[in-house]
Structure formats: structure tokens, C-alpha cells
Amino acid sequence: MTYRAGIIGTGGIAGMGILGMHDESEIGRSKIEASHAGGYHATDGIELVAVADVDEDTLERFGEAWEIPPDRRYLGHEAMLETEDLDVVSVCTPSFLHHEHVIDAARSPASPDLIWCEKPIASQVSAAMEMVAVCEETDTELLVNHSFRFTEKLRRLRTLIQDEDILGEVRSVSTQFRMELLRNSTHLLDTLVYLLDARAATVSGYITGENEAVETLEAGQQVDDAGGGGFVVMDDGTFVTIDCTLPRAISSMALTFVGTKGKLYTNNDDGEWRYWRLVDGEHVEEPLPGIEGAWTWEDDYQRAFAAAAGHVVDVLEGEAENASSGREATRSLEIIVGLYLSHHTGGQVEIPMARPLRDVTVTSW
């Protein structure tokens, strides 16, 4: 069986490229494989058959690049969802539109079995919670594209930490990544909650107000999304420091875990992962069992979209559990919103948030 997929939003992450991630000469002109469309193209058993956008020029440019027939290029997502019978819908619109588009897709005549939503899941916690609830109500899998979860090395690292207990009880984690919190840092925070298999309990934050995307993405408007950081106490007691204040050019995606049985350092930008086992009070460096080399953007990230599309097929076939559910994705969003709330109120934020706090919106693209 070949599953039928449609995409809402035909911009960068859908398949046309993003400044800072892809070769500028190719952006908007050719197929970009590290994308939703690229994932479908690389995967047997699933085919991209329809696309939708409110911008006619963007829609036509994508349709030509990815060879979508003109009668399957829809001006507006409502038309596609009314007309097409789809097994999968990708939501690749700006984050503030994810809520509307996921719910519309889940309740539409297209009746998809799975929605593959770009990260972050939403711009407010209450919106994310409603997306999860509606997808459960309509028996629709909601899979959020936190790409790292679909890479072999990170899945193996989680097994080492959670099942093989190489760190013992994790007591402390320090993290560093680039601004902005929603647009970029959601990757870091999702990696944190994924590897710890934990949820934030208390958040204390600081927001810089700086946003480099206005210049680098030539964005036409200012948004709330900015650099920031702070500390988080997880529900398992782990103390976490977060620094996502730096611009892309000088940042690293680095996490250091310290546990009762060992410590771990990962730096994805430099391709360096190191592990030390605690032996008689001394840390002894050892290879990470079952992991050859370190995670890199050029290799692992580039293959993550094909891996995610393959995972979509496995979920549809009933051969895998959803590895990046809406409930899981909400955990990183809670931390981000908590950092903003803490900064602007001068106090700590407890999670789960009280209902009025869940409605706070952090604007981004």
C-alpha cells in the first residue's frame, strides 16, 4: 500500500530551504531533501500528492520544484482538506498557525490517520493541549517534527541512559544552544526531556529580547521569540541550566549530564560526544556502547527527515509507537513559556501551569 500525503504550507521546511541551514543559491529554487517533502521523496510506501498555501507564488514555485500537478496545488488548506483523501498531512506553516491547521486537518473530510506537525508544536500551552485532545478525539496520531528523535544515535543514547543506566541517577544537566527559544531552542529542550524522560516542575527564566532572525530571515515583523535561558528543576529532581542567548555563528548545541554512575558530554555542532564512567570515585573515559562517532548536523540531521517519514509509515502500519507525540512536544513548550513568564513576573513558574498561564502566547514565525 502507498500512503497519500499532503502538505499545508509550502515554504522552507516543507521543501524549499531555510537561510542558515541550506545553500542560499538553492533556497526557493530547487528541492531541499532535508524537509518534509524530501522525507516523503526518500521513503517507500508514501507519496506526496497535494499541497496547499495562501501565497500563490510560493505554492506554484513549490509545485514546480516538487512536480505536484497543478490541479493538486490548492490555494488555502481548506480546499485541499475538502477535496483530497489523505492518510498523512504535514503542517509546515509558522508556529502560530499550527493550532488552527492541525485541528482543521484532524476534523476535515480528508480524514488523515496521522498529522506530521513541524516544531514547535504551538505558540501557547493551551493550544498544544487542545491539539492533543482533538487528535485523540478524532483518532488521529499527532507526530511533532523534533527531528533529533528520529536519528539512530540519539535513540541509542536514550536507551543507554534510560535502559542501560550508564549515568545512574542524573543529578545535573547544563545546556547551551542558539537563540531564539521557539524557533531554535525547542530542539535542545526536546532533546533534554527526551533523554531524561522527564517533565519540568519549576522554571526560572531570563529573556534577552534579542532576535537574529529579523535580519537573517529578512522577516517583516518583530515577534516575542528571543534569546533566553535560566534554570529548570525537573520532576525527577534533576537541576538543569539553560543558555540559549547566543547567535548562531558562535553557539554550540551542547549538553553535559552528571549522574551517580558517570557523566556525558554531547556537542552536536562540533561532532563530539564523550562519556566517563565513575569508577571508585574517579571518572574514566570510555566509548559509548553501540554508537560509532558523534551526532552531526551534516550527517544525522540531513537524514532525520527521511527517518521521520519512515517512522510515519511504521506508525501507520502499526509497527511502531509514535516516538514524538504531541504530549511529548508540549514538554519543551512548557519550559519555553515558563522562561518568558518567569522573566516578566520576576518569579518562578510551576508546571503544570495554572489555566490562565497556559493561554500566554509567545509570537514567532
Q: Domain check: are 81 and 183 in the same one?
A: no
Q: Domain check: are 141 and 120 in the same one?
A: yes
- Residue 365 belongs to some domain of the structure: no
Mean pLDDT over the full length of the chain = 94
pLDDT at 161 over 60: yes
Q: Domain check: are 142 and 43 in the same one?
A: yes
- Residue 337 belongs to some domain of the structure: no
Exposed e or buried b per residue across 81-118, where buried means at least 16 C-beta atoms within 10 angstroms of its C-beta: bebbebbbbbbbbbbbbbbbbbbbbbebebbbbbbbbb
Domain extent for 129? 3-148+302-316
Q: Domain check: are 137 and 171 in the same one?
A: no
Q: Domain check: are 215 and 288 in the same one?
A: yes
What per-residue confidence (pLDDT) applies to 18? Answer: 59
Q: Domain check: are 162 and 91 in the same one?
A: no
What per-residue confidence (pLDDT) applies to 222? Answer: 78
pLDDT (tens digit per residue) in 307-346: 999 999 999 999 999 999 999 999 999 999 999 999 999 9
C-alpha span between 210 and 255 (Å, rounded): 23
pLDDT (tens digit per residue) in 189-234: 999 999 999 999 999 999 999 998 776 666 566 789 999 999 999 9
CATH number of the structural domain spanning residue 205: 3.30.360.10
CATH number of the structural domain spanning residue 60: 3.40.50.720
Residue reference for cell 517583516: 220
Number of domains the chain is built from: 2
CB 116 within 8 A of CB 93: no
Q: Domain check: are 101 and 38 in the same one?
A: yes
The count of other CB atoms within 10 Å of the CB of residue 56 is 10
- Residue 335 belongs to some domain of the structure: no
What per-residue confidence (pLDDT) applies to 33? Answer: 87
- Residue 356 belongs to some domain of the structure: no
- Residue 97 belongs to some domain of the structure: yes
Residue reference for cell 492541525: 102
C-alpha span between 359 and 169 (Å, rounded): 34
Mean pLDDT of 157-185: 97
- Residue 359 belongs to some domain of the structure: no
Of 9-18, 34-43, 289-298, the least confident: 9-18
Mean pLDDT of 152-157: 96
What per-residue confidence (pLDDT) applies to 274? Answer: 97
- Residue 60 belongs to some domain of the structure: yes
pLDDT (tens digit per residue) in 16-40: 755 556 555 555 556 888 899 999 9
